[in-house]
Amino acid sequence: MKKIRNLKLIKKISAIGTSISVIAITANSSFAAEGIGTAEVTTATDNIKRVITSIAMPLGGVLIFASIVIAAIKMIANANNPQKRAESIGSLAWICGGGVILGASLIIAGIIINISTNSTGSLINS
C-alpha cells in the first residue's frame, strides 16, 4: 500500500518537475530578444490601459451593483427572519471589501504602469 502511494507521489513530483523545466526553457527562449523598443512598450501600455478602462472598471462596477441589488432583494425577502436578514446585511461588508480590492487593484496597476514607463512611453533604463 505504501509502495503504491510512493509511486504516485514520485509520478506527481516528476510531472511537476517536467512542467517547471518546460516553462523555464520556454521562458528563456521568449526573453532572448535583444531588447524592447519604445514602440512595443507604448503599444503594450496602451493595450493594458485600454483593457483596464474598457473591461475591468465597467465589469467591476456591474458586479458590485448586481451584488448590492441581490443583497437588497435578500434583505427584503427575509424581512421577517432576523437571522437571515442579519446574514444579508453582513454580505454588504463583503461587497464593500470587494469594491475596495477592485479600486486598489486599478490604482496599483496605474502606479506600476507609470513607474515602469516613467510616464514617457519607454521603459526606465532603456
Of 51, 44, 28, the C-alpha closest to 105 is: 51
**CA-CA distance, 17 to 19, in Å (whole number)?**
5
Instruction: Reply yes or no on whether the pLDDT at 91 is more than 50.
Output: yes
Same domain, 6 and 56: no
Residue of higher predicted confidence among 59 and 126: 59
pTM for the model: 0.52
pLDDT tens digits for range 9-67: 777 777 787 777 667 666 555 554 555 666 676 777 777 777 777 787 788 888 889 99
Among all chains, which residue has been given the C-alpha cell 463583503? 94
Same domain, 10 and 61: no
Q: Which domain holds residue 101?
A: 37-126
**CA-CA distance, 97 to 91, in Å (whole number)?**
10
Same domain, 23 and 53: no
Instruction: Take residue 116 and report the three cell numbers written for it.
Output: 515602469
Same domain, 46 and 81: yes
Q: What is the pLDDT, as a whole number, of residue 66?
A: 92
Residue type, 78: N
Instruction: Assign 3-state DSSP to the chain and report helix, strand, coil percentages, each to 5.
Output: 85, 0, 15
Q: What is the pLDDT, as a whole number, of residue 54?
A: 76
Q: How many domains does the chain have?
A: 2
Same domain, 21 and 76: no
Same domain, 60 and 90: yes
Same domain, 106 and 81: yes
Same domain, 47 and 21: no
